[in-house]
Amino acid sequence: MHTVTALSRTSLLRALVLVALWGGASAQSDPPAGPWKEHKTPEGWVVVRTTNYEVQSEVGEPRARRLADFLQGLRPHFEAFWPPRPRPTPLVVKVFSTRERRDAWLTARDLWVEDPPSGVPPSCAFHDPFCGDILAFDTGRLLGDPAGVTPVSLSSDRSNSLPHADLQRLYPQLEAVSAAYAPDLARDVAHEAWHQYLEAANFLRPPLPAWLDEGLADWLAASTPGGRPWPVRAPPPPGADPAIKPGALHEDRLRDVQRARRDDETLPLRDLLFRTTHLASAEPPGLLAEGWAVVHFLQSSSDASARRLILALLDSSRASEDGTVPAEEVLEGLDLKALDRAFSEWLAAQEPIDPLADLARDFGRQLAPADLIASPWVKECFTWQRRHTARPAPGDAR
């Protein structure tokens, strides 16, 4: 979830003015906004086109192809939840080599992306509703493969002060943290691709409730070839189903919602289903993570009536004149108390893969967040883990 500073998604007049400005700026910019003609690809970029997507990449054709194929594989699932507009045009994804390159491109247009507030995980992609493109940068992690991720490391002072035996145990854990906590290019772009698709298909209609929109985006973004568990570090084995399918756990969101649950920042299922806040940035981060958990729980339920709920909420919004989701009508006749109990039991039984929890248990009393050379998000999560899971020192009565 990112916001473009000073821009309102709901202001059509401003959108039209800015689109006009984008057109004037893009003639002088490298690369231009929107789709490109085949003979006008900027130097250093490649373009991969599928039926519904145009991926413009500064990080080479192989990664662009994997990303484009992944997005195209998701498209039938998007359309199953919300019908596309007639004769849809290809949607554009721009992948810059670094965040600095992407942000410089935005700065040239007097735009910038706000850093997420505390409690909100970072993303390497966002959908700009005014030019229509998804703007992303490569983090080195693609479909769970962390081969190019910048590793989390220790400050030189702390590294020099620890015994060699501790360092031998510590560095593999830091590598695991790096692989798990780097934003995944495919997953973040897929999340934004749902917003991009929905805005194109749902032009000028009010947005969905934030928990539903963000939760469904996260659930779809966790899709994998054949529905295999993450991380997906290789093509499907021979004979495996190559189709992109939802259903895999979103480990990042599972970690987020478990932390929010422990901090009492989630809601009973019934309260969340009736929640109507549209602006994601106005919602507590824990509720957006819980939105993913609710969608995953319902969509993977063995109960057919539970599996129909998300689609029923979307259908009711689409059928209403003002985009309102009449939850009372959709949920009528359901035993919400029983459903809430089942959801709570399911969530409590999930054990996220969290290398930072392991690091806090093993080294939480030796390392401070300031000792890590890492992103603010990693340090924030490590702070939380030290508070909740660090092993007490000998004689510590806490």
Q: How confident is the model over 258-267, as a mean pLDDT?
A: 94
pLDDT in tens, 67-118: 999 999 999 999 999 998 877 789 999 999 999 999 999 888 887 777 777 7
219 in a structural domain: no
Residue 98 and residue 3 share a domain? yes
Least confident of 219-228, 332-341, 360-369: 219-228
The number of distinct structural domains making up the chain is: 2
Could you tell me the pLDDT band of residue 166, with boundaries at 50, 70 and 90?
very high
HEC sequence for 62-105: HHHHHHHHHHHHHHHHHHHHCCCCCCCCCEEEEEECCHHHHHHH
Of 208, 227, 229, give the one whose Cα is nearest residue 217: 208
Is residue 255's pLDDT more than 90? yes
Within a domain: 361? yes
Q: Is the pLDDT of residue 25 over 60?
A: no
Residue 113, classified by CB atoms within 10 Å of its CB into exposed (0-12), middle (13-18) or buried (19+), is middle
Which pLDDT does position 179 carry in this prediction?
92
- Residue 391: per-residue pLDDT: 60
**What's the domain range around 157?**
153-180+354-389
**38 in any annotated domain:** yes
Specify whether 38 is located in the same domain as 57.
yes
Position 74 in a domain = yes
CATH number at 43 reads 3.40.30
User: What does the angle CA 193 – CA 194 – CA 196 come to, to the nearest 5 degrees?
Assistant: 60
pLDDT-based confidence at residue 227 (cuts at 50, 70, 90) = confident
The C-alpha atoms of residue 87 and residue 70 are separated, in whole angstroms, by 21
Regarding whether 168 and 19 lie in a shared domain, the answer is no
- Convert the pLDDT of each residue in 231-240 to its tens digit: 555 666 677 6
- Report how far residue 57's alpha carbon sits from residue 96's, in angstroms, rounded to the nearest whole number: 6
Q: Are residues 17 and 129 in the same domain?
A: yes
Q: Verify that 125 and 163 share a domain, yes or no.
A: no
Same domain, 168 and 81: no
Report, as an integer, the average pLDDT of 184-190.
96
Are 57 and 192 part of one and the same domain? yes
